[in-house]
Amino acid sequence: MSNPYRTKKCHELRASDAGKTERLAGWIHNKRDLGGVLFIDLRDHYGITQIVIPPTAAFQNEVGHLPKETVISVQGQVRPRPEGTVNPNLATGEVELDVTGYERLGSCEPLPMNVFPEDLTPEETRLKYRFLDLRRSKLHQTVMLRAQVISSIRQRMIELGFQEFQTPILTSSSPEGARDFLVPSRLYPGEFYALPQAPQQFKQLLMVSGFDRYFQIAPCFRDEDGRADRTPGEFYQLDVEMSFVTQDDVFAAMEILFIPLFQEFKAEWPINANADGSFQRLAYKESLLKYGTDKPDLRIPIEIKDLTPLFAKSEFKAFAGKTVRAMAVPQAFDQPRSWFDNLQEEAKKLGAPGLAYVKVEPNSGTGVYDSGESKPVYGATLTGPIAKFIKGDAMIEVIRMAGMKLDTVATEPHKFLPTVIFFSADTNETKAAKVLGAMRVKIAEQLKLIEKNVFKFTWIVDYPMYEYNEETKAVEFSHNPFSMPQGGLDALEKQDPLTLFAYQYDLVCNGYEIASGAIRNHVPEIMYKAFGIAGYDKSVVDNKFPGMINAFRYGAPPHGGIAPGIDRIVMLLADETNIRDVIAFPMAQNGRDLLMNAPSPASEKQLREVHLTIRKPVPKV
């Protein structure tokens, strides 16, 4: 039985189809009236075909007044385009359809936003009318890319010997580091399910159950604020778990997955893999030192150095006794004063008092004096707001950071570039690191120093097992509470908790964390001890994780896993910077679904069924 709407899709007609009678269906993408002849670009999911309605057609005036995005079906004869009108940018650009009949299938009211041409519509409008936004070529293609990436991942995981399982959506609360979404129970008044922040416990239980390699394209739910690289509420991840593995085994499996996956969808972009196909590794502490973050963007050719010892007894009170980090940026030397002033404001937004800097310029032997000498020996001049405080060994190191060789700069200054050295100082080592790390990215963006069209991966390893919370004055888990501590029970009993490392790891690409995982703590005695250090006694572990801790008593294999984020993978492959542009129906950054008007109030009947009353927040005075 023939299809009443179309015999071909809008990407299929070719010159070889000339003379055939065909039917097409789709949306009116664009219209042009040229000398009484009506030209319409007809669009469907697959592509565009130009259709032509001559002035002799009785329905030309009617079709001509249909608004763009009306859905129609047309019938006519395929013919070659006249000489000089071939469109090489269209797959169907050699032909057009000479329309002899049409049917309107779906009317269109006045559009609240353009589908074509794609203008800069406010995001709020785009999200409210997402079904129109998804018709736009760029977003439509990106959502299709997402589907293709997921399909490729699924196939590759199966080829690697992983089996796909599904885990529950209604489960219990778990300390994953974010707030849970709670679901009230109708049958058990006052009790709640939680939507899973991740299938963590279930995938571990699958390993205890004797399955060897698990994966799932899993929805995860976390009640946290949105940002450019994180959607509020929900996200999807490739959830992975493996039995009888070490950290190296997990890395190898993911490297086998990621390198060909990224090559499949972005073959022209090189990947910084080692000769054996592995990614480089950075210890968490080293990453914080060199890049000021555990999500380093290695496309930026700037590294940070620790100058703390050089300023330990400095007369400069802003640096003395503090952690001092510095980075050299030659490209900043010729920037105007206003540019440096703007950087001060950016640093203040990060909680720093500002961003100190000095300019270092080579010369022919005048300017900077070595400590205790009466003559110039290094041939470099330091200028800027804090130049007078940079003395002695600190001055020598600053000149070295500028890339200047002390034995030749005075005689051959032309070999060296003038440079700016930026500093961050704070009594809190982590804050000093992160401020300069954030400014490293900000400066690189403004000076266009970020290498384009390349993927730079690195594993971040040796995360601290615990961290000290200054507000609560307590030791807490720093990452994943279910991780195996390096050194096992012996380390937990004998070492300072804040010196312990865990078998935890992240995979970072171009400044984004795209995967996080760990080798799991599968031994009950070690788990009780690990949670005890973080302030949870044995009864808490038994009550919060009864299924898992009980299972570990019955023969649990060593196991570990990882969870790459689907949304961020697609962001990288689509070369997008806003995660909402790779999701078909995202929430707005404020956590509202503008299309479906969620969240919305529940009716009194719905509330009674789940035994809830609403207590509205007290207005702030």
| 367-423 per-position pLDDT tens digit | 444 444 434 445 788 899 999 898 888 888 888 888 776 666 666 666 778 899 999
- Domains in the chain, CATH or no CATH each: 15-106 (2.40.50.140), 300-446 (3.30.1360.30)
Closest CA to 569 of 517, 518, 519, 507: 507
Distance CA 546, CA 540 (A): 9
Question: Residue 104: pLDDT above 70?
Answer: yes
Mean pLDDT of the chain: 92
Given pLDDT bands bounded at 50, 70 and 90, which one contains residue 144? very high
Instruction: Kindly state the average pLDDT of the residues 86-92.
Output: 96
SS3 state at 517: strand
Question: Residue 346: pLDDT above 80?
Answer: yes
Residue 366: predicted pLDDT: 47
Lowest mean pLDDT among 162-171, 373-382, 442-451, 527-536: 373-382
Residue 369: predicted pLDDT: 46
The tokens describing 590, both together, are 């404020």
Dihedral sign computed on CA atoms, order 104, 110, 111, 112: negative
Given pLDDT bands bounded at 50, 70 and 90, which one contains residue 176? low
* DSSP string for residues in 200-265: HHHHHHHHHTT--EEEEEEEEEEB---BTTB-SEEEEEEEEEEES--HHHHHHHHHHHHHHHHHHH
Residue 374: predicted pLDDT: 39
DSSP structure class, residue 81: P
Residue 131: predicted pLDDT: 97
Per-residue b/e over 341-371, b at no fewer than 16 CB within 10 Å?
A: eebeebbeebebebbbbbbbbbbebebbeee
pLDDT tens digits, residue range 611-620? 999 988 887 7
The residue written with tokens 């007369």 in the block is 315
Residue 608 — φ and ψ, nearest 5°? -65, -40
Residue 14: predicted pLDDT: 97
Distance CA 538, CA 525 (A): 10
pLDDT tens digits, residue range 186-224? 999 999 999 999 999 999 999 999 999 999 999 999 998
Which segments within 54-122 are labelled E, that is strand? 71-80, 95-106
State if pTM tops 0.75.
Answer: yes
Report how far apart, in Å, the C-alpha atoms of 50 and of each of 32, 46, 162, 559 are.
Answer: 11, 14, 46, 57
Residue 197: predicted pLDDT: 92
Residue 430 near residue 467, CB atoms below 8 Å: no
Q: How far is CA 63 from the centre of its chain?
A: 45
Residue 11: predicted pLDDT: 97
Give the residue with greater pLDDT, 109 vs 178: 109
pLDDT tens digits, residue range 221-270? 999 887 777 888 899 999 999 999 999 999 999 999 999 999 999 999 99
Distance CA 592, CA 233 (A): 9
Percent of the chain with pLDDT over 90: 80
Residue 94: predicted pLDDT: 97
Per-residue b/e over 447-462, b at no fewer than 16 CB within 10 Å?
A: bebeeeeebbbbbbbb
Distance CA 95, CA 15 (A): 6
CB count, 10 Å around CB of 255? 19
Instruction: Kindly state the average pLDDT of the residues 472-492.
Output: 92
Per-residue b/e over 152-177, b at no fewer than 16 CB within 10 Å?
A: ebbebbeeeebeebebeeebbbbbbe
Closest CA to 223 of 190, 186, 192, 185: 192
* DSSP string for residues in 24-51: EEEEEEEEEEETTEEEEEEE-SS-EEEE
Listed in sequence order, the DSSP H helices in 470-589 are: 488-494, 524-533, 538-544, 546-551, 566-574
Burial classification of residue 22, based on how many CB atoms lie within 10 Å of its CB (0-12 exposed, 13-18 middle, 19 or more buried): middle
Question: Residue 175: pLDDT above 70?
Answer: no
DSSP bridge partners of 564: 515
Given pLDDT bands bounded at 50, 70 and 90, which one contains residue 480? confident
Say what angle helices 247-265 and 137-159 make with each other, to 10 degrees: 140
Q: CB under 8 Å to 400, separation ≥6 — which residues?
A: 406
